[in-house]
Amino acid sequence: MIGDGRGTPGRGPAWERAVHRDFVEPVLQDQITALMEAARLHPAALDLDRVGIRGWSFGGWLAALAVLCRPDVFHAGVAGAPPTDWRLYDTHYTERYLGHPDEEPEVYDANSLIGLAGRLERPLLLIHGLADDNVVAAHTLRFSSALVAQGRPHTVLPLSGVTHMTPQEVVAENLLVLQVDFLKANLTDR
């Protein structure tokens, strides 16, 4: 059965602590395991040569991580409001998993997308509300700058006046359409 990945609250302390100091390996591996299990259970329904991934917030971080670290599995990604550098994110959330950034900078480096920018081989759309007060737009801007510095093409969609999650129904619907269109355009002719 496919279920919540390690680190997800509500499954017990050991399950939630499985990501202590390491979001990357267990979280990404659980997504790959779930994908492979879904393909095993429904082989006619999935084309593993055309796998797209999208997410928002932590899921946006995961979507970007997936195309950066496992381009053999994930062929295009959409990352909405991704916390690309955990040093910039809410300390209450981050420090319980990664420790203090001044005491364990290597842990923060290992969980940041910034240092992985040179690995981008797949299409990636970054979306961020410029009025986001949860995951500030600086995350996407810094990551995009790192991608540009590494000569890695990508697409950025800034959303003026939008916070972490848009409350405007029509904007949310159109945003989903844009994401699907991006994935279709980048997965259809593979």
Catalytic (active site) residue 144 = no
DSSP 115-129: GGGGG--S-EEEEEE
Question: Is 175:145 a contact under the CB 8 Å cutoff?
Answer: no
Which two three-digit tokens encode residue 90?
A: 């809410």
* Catalytic hit among 57, 85, 128, 154: 57
Catalytic (active site) residue 132 = yes
Residue 173: its H or E element:
helix 169-187
* Catalytic hit among 132, 139, 144, 154: 132
Q: How many CB atoms lie within 10 A of CB 111?
A: 24
* Catalytic hit among 20, 22, 109, 164: 164
Q: 161, 101, 112, 114: which is closest to 142 by C-alpha?
A: 114
Catalytic (active site) residue 164 = yes
- Which distant-in-sequence residues (6+ apart) come within 8 Å of 148 by Cβ? none
d(CA 41, CA 12): 27
- Which distant-in-sequence residues (6+ apart) come within 8 Å of 188 by Cβ? 50
Q: Which amino acid is at 177?
A: V
Which two three-digit tokens encode residue 131?
A: 């009025």
Residues with catalytic annotation?
A: 57, 132, 164
